[in-house]
Amino acid sequence: MKRILIIDDAATVRLYHRNILEGAGYEVDEAVNGIEALEKALLTTFDMYIVDINMPKLDGYGFLREIRSQEIAQAPAIMVSTEAETGDQQLAYGAGANLYLVKPVKPDGLLTYVRLLIGGV
């Protein structure tokens, strides 16, 4: 089963993404900030990361830089932000995201990208 790590400090957003992805049959794990996400990424290979930007302790950019620079994970990472600002997108790509989507990502849309990137369940 494909596993996806959802990294977001907002419990509501995590549940939202979890509902969508589990509904499609993916296995989902959660982390509430970049540090916890790093710990999980070190222990487990995920097929994809869905990363929020603004988080306490270690933000999404920081998390991506860590996994890319220390070569912890190469799997596709989708960064999700609430802002459609060019600056954020550039930063996201620079940090190591492979895709930048604006919240809220509609369920169909998210699943399309996930399926294209890591295949079906």
Partner 1 sequence: MTPLLEQFMSEARDVLQGISEKLMQLEAEPNSRETINELFRLVHTLKGNSGLFEFPEMTRVLHAGEDLMDAVRDGRVNYSQMLADRLLDAMDFVNLLLDEIEINGEIGTNHVQHGLQQTELLRQLLGTATAKTVENSGATVAKAVKKIHKKLPNMASLVALPEAQRMALYEQSISVNTLHLVQYVPEHECFFKGEDPFFQARQIPQTIWHSVQAVEPWPVMAELDAYCCNLEFQALTATSPDDLYELFRYTPEQVSINAVPAIVMALPSGEPNGGPVYGDFVVDALALLEAGDIAKLINVSNTMLELHSPNLWLSSALRWLLLVLKLEPNNHSAQRILIESFNHLVAPNWADLTPNVEIESLEEVTVAATLDTEVVTNVATNDDSFALNFILQAQRQILHLPDSDTWLVGRLNSVAATLTAIHINAGRQDVLPTLQDALAEALTASTAAPLLMWLDDYAMQANTPALNAANKVEPGVVQGKLVGEVLEGASLSQNVATRLDINQNEASTDIDADMKFGRRSEDSYSAPKTLKVDQVKIDILMNLIGEMVVAKNSLPYLAGLAETQYGVRELGREIKSQYAVINRIAEEMQDAIMQVRMMPVSFIFQRFPRLVRDTSRKLEKIVNLVLEGEETEADKNIVEALADPLIHIVRNSLDHGLETPEVRRATGKPEAGKLTIRASQESNRVYIEISDDGKGINPDVVKRKAYEKGIIDEATMERMTDQEAVNLVFAAGFSTTEIISDLSGRGVGMDVVRSAVEKVNGTVSIESEVGKGTLIRLSLPLSMAITNVMIVESADQAFGVPMGMVVETVRVPKSNIRTIKNHKTMVLRGRIIPLLSLNDLLAVDAPQLANENEELAMLVVQINNESIGILVDEFRETVDIILKPMTGIIGGLGGYSGSALLGDGSVLMVLNLKELF
Min separation Cβ 57 and partner 1, Å: 11
Structure tokens given for 37: 């996400």
In the three-class reduction of DSSP (H, G, I as helix; E, B as strand; rest coil), residue 30 is classed as strand
**Residue 98 interacting with partner 1 (CB under 8 A):** yes
If one asks whether residue 62 binds partner 1 (CB under 8 A), the answer comes out as no
Residues facing residue 81 across a β-bridge: 102
Task: Give yes or no for a contact between 6 and 29, defined as CB atoms under 8 angstroms apart.
Answer: yes
CB 38 within 8 A of CB 32: no
- Which of 29, 35, 58, 62 touches partner 1 (CB under 8 A)? 29
CB of 86 to partner 1, least distance (A): 5
Determine if 51 is a binding residue for partner 1 (CB under 8 A): no
Task: Candidates 22, 25, 44, 57: give the one binding partner 1 (CB under 8 A).
Answer: 44
The least CB distance from residue 50 to partner 1, in Å, is 13
The residue within the footprint of partner 1, chosen from 23, 25, 57, 112 (CB under 8 A), is 112
Token pair in block for residue 54: 């603004």
**In whole angstroms, what is the distance from residue 69 CA to residue 101 CA?**
23
Token reading at 111 = 């699943």
Q: How far is the CB of 34 from partner 1 (least distance, A)?
A: 13
